[in-house]
Structure 1
């Protein structure tokens, strides 16, 4: 049997492109219209995507929210509603692992898992966005360095998974004669006393559905995040600047997983993919270019200046990015340095002008491909076979058009024997081809 490819849909309310909302006749409901979200999810299931993934940051209204819609609905509640209208689609919700208490996440994810009948996934994030800290009443002093962030996140995950296993189904004996519903002798209470979190007791509901825990996902590029994800996650999301770095990431995290005593084949790697599908490569590029022109060019250039740490007056939209200024204007900011290497490399490799570069950057690091369904399928097959990824997180440039057209790519992969034609199992884990959860 040919290697099966996994495909998740990144669930952007109007598509990945920042101007996608401008293609809607009435975009005012994109933030809070649950019917819109449900219709989008049903379209994803019709296309046979493995899962939908809801990015989320619990934050105060930031500047970016003023220029484009972001789904404002709580992701777990949204996915619970979607679960009522879908049968097979995996439902991946983002939840913080630094703020709040792990008990609340354990309960929320277990609830979604039961409501969806075994289709929940938890995307573990360690972000420290300023707007999020403001919304939660935390000062900038609350920010942790990378090492501490992942130490704290590790405690969070240990508590969540411990709670999921604390009330096995077998403990619910429902003994009417002896007036015992739950036998405490069959439970596995936790008593976690960590540096950052403490938790004691048994979760109020079983954390597993028919023996399976929710799937765990994690994204990141730092060395700490790679090790963290390789230890805990079932699936790693990634976004690398080029294919060589994708393959290096793939080999590195698989090696880490093996070092943690895991079968590396049981850790899936799914890079981001921004696919524009049309009747030809030229028409696909023209489709994106048309939407690119809906953006405020000056705003994009201001953003670029901040990303690479250069004065805006040095960025002429019709000239190349002045990478020679990186040495003349040094930075000790590791994020800016990473972006200089990433964005500067892309600019030079493609010969982009600043205008072309900012339009390219609208995909925010996702690997961008254009073409017919057959051409896109060729690329996905090649990348899967050369260890770029075990699957991909698909970004539709606009929706619903992007998803409707990507459905033809999935059909092509099905015809080649690289993607299942039907959902073959009831649970998300089984459809993903992952082994059963460890027994309690």
Structure 2
């Protein structure tokens, strides 16, 4: 570990001690226990463009579909499809603002199966305990305070109030999925705050940025002349889901410092946060549903068969900045990330704007307003990979630069029930020029 990150570790330890002290001594006026249980379901119509891109990997004839003489990356499941993608059970147990236990268990979870469709169909998406006070982004704190969180939770830079059902390139590549470990936060008065984490770290793997991840390294590919129903997708490198508790003495350290402000009315607010991570890539990581290994094994290929030319070491470092702004009914979010994985540099930018406004309708059902709000949203994201592909590789898109524009609108049908329609315009910068891999997604979401 570099000297700067040894210093960071000491700062994290001191901040953690302050956060623990603050969490333990936080006071509620009238602490009481309360429980909250809910369910969320999502039904989709998805229409994906049909695309295929040739790869120069030397597949043997029995490794290819019947009659095919060359390997391809292909759209995971082209055409139009109706599907139930998710059923989630959610539980919260709280005592005042001192303690919260949160659990979210996902069933089916077709769009987040990680890294392939062969992944588990029942997944503990989040499971954590929190002591102390955690302030939402852009809300000033009421004086000094803090929290400590243990378990499986989202990264502190993740945008949890996305206004579309899809994900941008930055969120997909760097912080879409939860990590496992400890997190703490410290409010230095009303506006300044610190955050830190000591976690297991997400393994590096590949997935398509559209709704379905794609099937890479599934058991069906071990059969002669395989032709699986779901294809590879056009994948990018991304931080995949952890597969369980596996600390090996090389935890990932994260730190953040931020400033937040809001006016007295709460109609105008902003939050800026700088963050960074340092960790180590493993030689290999076993992932459920694929015989490909994650981390360095993915970057080298079997027996260094297709290692990236500039690959060196096993450090993973990441730095970035988040910016949030709320101006009445307008919501803005921006994130920039600069990452280096085993000396392979890449960076990403993501910008989202959403506007929510009431509809001039007076219809109601049992006192609940029907079609009350509509919310247009647009998101721009890009991923710049500043490294070259190996001479041979089964997924050359791993080093392609990429732009994605998501445009959509969300309609509140009833409280807890909404419909979102969106279009993903993917712009891929391949070795042969510009290409696309676009997708329509319509989502009916119900939450209780």
Which of the five TM-score ranges fits, normalised by the shorter chain? under 0.3
Give the structure, 1 or 2, with the largest relative contact order (CA under 8 Å, sep 6 or more).
1
TM-score with structure 2 setting the length: 0.27
TM-score with structure 1 setting the length: 0.27
> Normalized per residue, which structure has more strand?
2
> Normalized per residue, which structure has more helix?
1
